């Protein structure tokens, strides 16, 4: 995979929803100029269909749309486990307090009124995308930690071990070498050597010659 492709994949994806094409164009230009990928939808039905195949980093959602308004779109998104973590920011000409409060009640993380200021829009988008990615990273790290803990637990408890040959009896009743058992239940890799006691037992003459010359076993490791 080339660097350009990796860069594109890392660019946050914003889904902009508005039934007026001109509004989509204006918002799209503002976001693309700052390096965002932009997808567009003109209706609630289209949004829900698109979300079956994509998961944007944030949704900018208009409220006043035919057939299905933004509140209903937001409600349907938030009731789906696989989509509920996508931050939704309402971008609407409705600017009464009750409209804003209603937006938050339906699960939006922010509310921007039209006509919007480009700098303010970008600041809020940047903030919510950063928060979303931080949460995603946290979830990924927690998942990795749980996996690591499960691997540690696989090696916890009592293990039947032969007092003579030091083989371990596994869960299926087979006797295996210690390193084979640990390698199968963890990511540990082994290198092999000889401890001083075994070296003395296996190579007594070599040890005697070494010590006669004033050396030690430590020099062999």
The pLDDT value recorded for residue 204 is: 81
pLDDT of residue 220 exceeding 60, the answer is: no
Domain boundaries in the chain? 3-133, 168-220
CATH topology of domain 3-133: Rossmann fold (3.40.50)
Quote the Cα angle for 168-174-178, to 5°: 25
The pair of structure tokens assigned to 105 is 């009640």
DSSP for 52-70 reads TT---SEEEE-S--SSS-H
**22-34, pLDDT tens digit by residue?**
999 999 999 999 9
What is the pTM for the complete model shown? 0.65
Residue 16, SS3 per DSSP? strand
Question: What is the rounded CA–CA span in Å between residue 183 and residue 179?
Answer: 6
Closest-CA residue to 118 (of 165, 197, 60): 60
Question: SS3 helix, strand, coil % of the chain, rounded to 5?
Answer: 50, 15, 40
Residue indicated by tokens 């020099």: 219
The pLDDT value recorded for residue 206 is: 78
Q: Is the CB of residue 61 less than 8 Å from the CB of residue 88?
A: yes
């Amino acid at each position: 995979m080339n660097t350009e492709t990796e860069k594109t994949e890392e660019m946050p994806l914003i889904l902009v929803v508005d039934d007026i094409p001109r509004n989509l164009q204006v918002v799209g230009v503002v976001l693309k100029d700052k390096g965002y990928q932009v997808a567009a939808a003109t209706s609630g039905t289209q949004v829900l269909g698109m979300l079956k195949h994509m998961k944007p980093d944030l949704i900018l959602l208009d409220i006043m749309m035919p057939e299905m308004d933004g509140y209903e779109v937001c409600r349907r998104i938030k009731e789906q486990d696989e989509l509920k973590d996508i931050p939704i920011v309402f971008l609407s000409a409705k600017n009464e307090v009750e409209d804003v409060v209603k937006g938050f009640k339906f699960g939006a993380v922010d509310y921007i009124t039209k006509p919007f200021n480009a700098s303010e829009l970008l600041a809020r988008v940047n903030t919510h995308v950063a928060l979303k990615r931080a949460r995603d990273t946290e979830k990924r790290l927690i998942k990795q930690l749980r996996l690591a803990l499960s691997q540690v637990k696989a090696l916890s408890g009592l293990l039947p071990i032969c007092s003579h040959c030091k083989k371990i009896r596994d869960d299926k009743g087979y006797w295996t070498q210690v390193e084979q058992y640990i390698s199968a239940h963890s990511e540990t890799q082994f290198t092999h050597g000889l401890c001083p006691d075994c070296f003395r037992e296996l190579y007594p003459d070599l040890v005697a010659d070494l010590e006669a010359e004033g050396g030690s076993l430590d020099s062999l490791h």
